[in-house]
Amino acid sequence: MGEKDVRRTLLAQAERTLAHNQAGTTDLTESVTRIPASNYFDPERWQREVDLIFKRVPLLLATSAEIKEPNSYKAIEVCGMPVLVVRDSDGVVRAFVNMCSHRGAMLVDEGVGSTRRFTCPYHAWSYNQQGDLVGIFKQSDFGEIDFSCMSLTSLPVTERAGLIWVILSPSSTLDLDAFFAGYDELLGFCNFAEMNHFGSRRLVGPNWKVSFDGYVDFYHLPILHKNTFGANFPADALFHRVGPHQRVTGPRGSWSKLEGVPKDEWPDSVLTGGVWSVFPHASIAGFDLGEHKIYQVARIFPGSNADESISYLDFISTAPLTDEFIETANQQIAFLEHVVRDEDYATGLKIQRTVKTGAKKEFVFGRNEGGAQYVHGWLDAILETPDSELSDLFRRGISAGRLVTD
């Protein structure tokens, strides 16, 4: 997709939103769907999701802004896998298991930092930014050592649209272009690559799907969030699907202001608005802050068991990081954290308690809840697909949660 095609695709999404605005309609799926309530707490199902979804598809582990400078790194542990993401002195990003080849110590603690060389804190074996072992303390005591077999374990990584994805399986052969299906190029229009990082939050929540369902759900906005931002927020949503991903726009509101405006004058803020959901676990939302825009990049990971998830919210913006901006931005972060923690996840944690009563065997998703229908359809399809056919599945797509209002 060239730059023109990206703009054309985003214009088509805006036109579709405007058309629904004018007609007073919204996206509906073919049918109501039901999923077993046990999907949200069954430990066996949860383990399969970790092994067959989170360890096989690209995970959004960092924004480029967090390791913007050459020689920077970020260490993060997800799904029991400590990962080290490194930007080398030439700006190239690599990912490794954060584990020393000698006897397994973690090379660096979680967080971001800057270094040209990773020296193990246990016995000082050292590695360069390419993951090669380059030094052994008291080397002569190890006899003949084949350094080329003692590199850090590499993980597949890709930096696209100012975001960094890693696959937790070293031997994955997944076709990344099939997985992204061009969604990465649409995300590129948001300019995340130019942004600065100014804040992070880590939140503990319920089963990762209870949490993630909420990020593709506009139905709850005017209800659950009525005391914060949602009172006048429409409950309708459009799902612009690209591969397994979907951008969600609300067709009510101020779209009518575009009427009569030539399309080539539609502002970028309109073309990039809404919530960008990235399968299987991320959600990116923009907020206006004065003349600037800030983005919340949320990623939800399975926690230590089926009843727990860990979410990372990272905040980036094109604004220069002045004291004044940081102060205002921190107020916005505090507000967003309050909404997610005290409204979304507080509700989700209670759901986590009710599902386990066994009182309800199924949950129902209405025809208006196409976002979650699509996500759950993909999860089920991936769980049933062997490694050798996974790329094909992403090329082929699924029929679950099909929209009948396009």
Q: Which residues bind ligand FES (CB under 6 A)?
A: 100, 102-105, 120, 122-123, 125
Closest to 283 measured CA to CA, from 382, 214, 383: 214
We find the least distance from the C-beta atom of residue 170 to ligand FES, in angstroms, to be 19
Q: Give the Cα separation of 131 and 151 in Å (integer).
A: 6
DSSP 162: T
Near Fe ion by CB under 5 A: residue from 344, 345, 369, 377 = 344
- The string of DSSP letters for 52-105 reads IIITTS-EEEEEGGGG-STTEEEEEEETTEEEEEEE-TTS-EEEEES--TTT--
If contact means CB under 5 to 8 A according to the sort of partner, which of ligand FES, Fe ion, none does residue 165 touch? none
- For ligand FES, give the closer residue by CB, 105 or 261: 105
Name the residue nearer to ligand FES (CB basis): 152 or 379: 152
| Distance in Å, CB of 137 to ligand FES, minimum | 7
In the complex, the smallest distance separating the C-beta of residue 340 from Fe ion, rounded to whole angstroms, is 7
Instruction: Output the smallest distance, CB 289 to Fe ion, in A.
Output: 20
Residue 283 CB, shortest distance to Fe ion, in Å, is: 10
Q: Which two tokens stand for residue 194?
A: 């130019």
Instruction: Name which of residues 205 to 264 contact Fe ion (CB under 5 A).
Output: 214
120 binds, among Fe ion, ligand FES, none (CB under 5 to 8 A by kind): ligand FES
- Quick one: what does residue 103 bind among ligand FES, Fe ion, none, with the CB cut-off 5 to 8 Å set by partner type? ligand FES
C-beta atoms surrounding 320 within 10 Å: 9
Number of residues binding to Fe ion, judged by CB under 5 A? 2
Partner that binds at residue 125, options ligand FES, Fe ion, none, CB closer than 5 to 8 Å by kind: ligand FES
**Closest listed residue to residue 283, CA positions, set 245, 328, 322, 257:** 245
The secondary structure of 247-314, three-state, reads: EEECCCCHHHHHCCCCHHHCCHHHHCCCEEEECCCEEEEEEEECCEEEEEEEEEEECCCCCCEEEEEE
- Nearer residue to ligand FES within complex by CB, 120 or 379: 120
Q: How far is the CB of 1 from ligand FES (least distance, A)?
A: 44
Taking contact as CB under 5 A, which single stretch among the options 105-113, 114-122, 262-270, 343-351 is the one that binds Fe ion? Answer: 343-351
CA atoms within 13 A on the CB side of 35: 24
Whether residue 244 contacts residue 279, with contact meaning beta carbons closer than 8 Å, is answered with yes
Task: Give the shortest CB-79-to-ligand FES separation in angstroms.
Answer: 23
Which structure tokens are listed for 247?
Answer: 């951008």
**How buried is residue 391: exposed, middle or buried, by Cβ count under 10 Å (0-12/13-18/19+)?**
middle
Q: Which does 344 bind (CB under 5 to 8 A by kind): ligand FES, Fe ion, none?
A: Fe ion
Which residues sit at the interface with Fe ion, rule CB under 5 A?
Answer: 214, 344
